Structure 1
């Protein structure tokens, strides 16, 4: 392969791997071999526990070589690297630890898990009274109202995430039933796209609302609203989703994209 000037600089227990230029398809196979050999040498001796590498966003073959050599993606540093034309571009940060498994199914899965896309997962719960009104919460962190619920944590089943959120926001152990809606949400207000799940929370009454202990740091109030009243409180996307979820028949579940059935 053409010489890309691969180097390894050691500073204490951390080493930094780097090369000059941008790898092309012709250099890719050789770069994988060179990076793998450099990693084995740096991490195989005493003292070095971490080997890291930062590559330009445009260096797709370089990123691929690091993944194939067992490095895991740790993040993207925005506009961190001069592009040589007076501007800057993103830089991708990879690292490999001395104790990392880099071969076999476990090694492959861990590496790919670090680099594959991830989506936010949101679990909300629809509670209704006997008149068909829905319960909405006014929050302290945004203008529009929401169903109770929130972000599902890493490694947490969505239904259990909904149960946890109800416990935190309303101060009660509340049963969560079947899935009503799965809705893909496009990017919005700086958020990346996400998937929202809405579960059936069954019937709620004014007496139930009176005994809720609202989370003071997040929830201002909870109230029952008609769908017409909800239109003035929630975003248009939330209202589309809420209207469809409230109209589902027994046993029905809907898949939506941006609050609408896919066409």
Structure 2
């Protein structure tokens, strides 16, 4: 006989399943299926350090949804990992259902796309951003399901009003966790060489861009964060396709 399993209704159409120890996975799956007969959603809240319970929730077919911070469970306030199934989820033994289960807990990496645009003197186009003091290459975060190449083209058009077709990938730079940010991968695409008169066509997105100009590498060192300056130099030199924080 497995460890005790309890199912309680915590909101309209929502059941919460809990267990002690390591229950039989088959029994837990049956309890989840039974609860979905009466509820639209079945969820469980698991401690962020409780790896055994996280594995059990996954084996039971519950998809990882994220971390709920500062919740109270059994009188204790702590962060909890949320796992759940809804009635419309594909069965785990279905290929799509199994892929969805894997996709819910496997690591995901933030991607940033930037564009290296230069003038005829080799200076680099930099943007002064409204939300931080440092200058940076034009570009931004890649949306979910979006191509990095299309993302940088979209960002440059949205932020600067410039329609520039991205060329080849000139640098992949890994950014380690920093100051509250998770790690990320930055992809720098070649934006080609343009006359300085291209600045006349810039229409800055006011809530994000304060200024834009072509800069020498010495000016990049002065205006940009150190890791950004390293990335720009690595992209300009083109001698290495991959760096970590510009190194």
Into which bin does the TM-score normalised by the smaller protein fall?
over 0.9
Query: Hey, what's the Cα distance between the residues in 1 that align with 2:148 and 2:128?
Result: 22
**Any conservation in 1 of the 2:130–2:207 contact (CA below 8 Å)?**
yes
Could you list the per-position Cα deviations for residues 82-102 of structure 1 after superposition, in whole angstroms to 9, with x for gaps in the alignment?
Answer: 799xx8543111110011012
Query: Hey, what's the Cα distance between the residues in 1 that align with 2:227 and 2:221?
Result: 10
**Any conservation in 1 of the 2:234–2:240 contact (CA below 8 Å)?**
no
- Counting only pairs closer than 5 Å after superposition, residues 169-180 of structure 1 correspond to structure 2 as 169-180=159-170
Choose which of 93, 105, 108 in structure 1 pairs with 2:82: 93
Unaligned runs of 5+ in 2: none
Choose which of 75, 84, 96 in structure 1 pairs with 2:66: 75
Query: Hey, what's the Cα distance between the residues in 2 that align with 1:12 and 1:175?
Result: 51
| Offset at residue 16 of structure 1 (A) | 1.0
Q: TM-score, normalised by structure 2?
A: 0.93
Unaligned runs of 5+ in 1: none
* Residue 37 (structure 1) aligned with residue 30 (structure 2): yes
Could you list the per-position Cα deviations for residues 155-193 of structure 1 after superposition, in whole angstroms to 9, with x for gaps in the alignment?
Answer: 000000001101101112211100000011101111010
| Offset at residue 79 of structure 1 (A) | 4.7
Residue 9 of structure 1 is matched in structure 2 by 8
* Residue 59 (structure 1) aligned with residue 59 (structure 2): no
Q: Secondary structure at the match of 1:94?
A: strand
Q: Secondary structure at the match of 1:106?
A: helix
Query: Hey, what's the Cα distance between the residues in 2 that align with 1:33 and 1:89?
Result: 29
Residue 212 of structure 2 is matched in structure 1 by 222
Pair 1:206–1:59, CA change in 2 (3 A): same
Q: TM-score, normalised by structure 1?
A: 0.87
Query: Hey, what's the Cα distance between the residues in 2 that align with 1:234 and 1:208?
Result: 22
Q: Which runs of 4+ in 1 moved over 6 A?
A: none
Residue 105 of structure 1 is matched in structure 2 by 95
Q: Secondary structure at the match of 1:122?
A: strand
Pair 1:40–1:82, CA change in 2 (3 A): closer
| Offset at residue 121 of structure 1 (A) | 0.3
| Offset at residue 129 of structure 1 (A) | 0.8
Query: Hey, what's the Cα distance between the residues in 2 that align with 1:58 and 1:6?
Result: 21
**Any conservation in 1 of the 2:120–2:196 contact (CA below 8 Å)?**
no
| Offset at residue 59 of structure 1 (A) | 2.3
* Residue 131 (structure 1) aligned with residue 121 (structure 2): yes
Pair 1:161–1:111, CA change in 2 (3 A): same
Work out the number of aligned pairs and report it.
245
| Offset at residue 58 of structure 1 (A) | 2.9
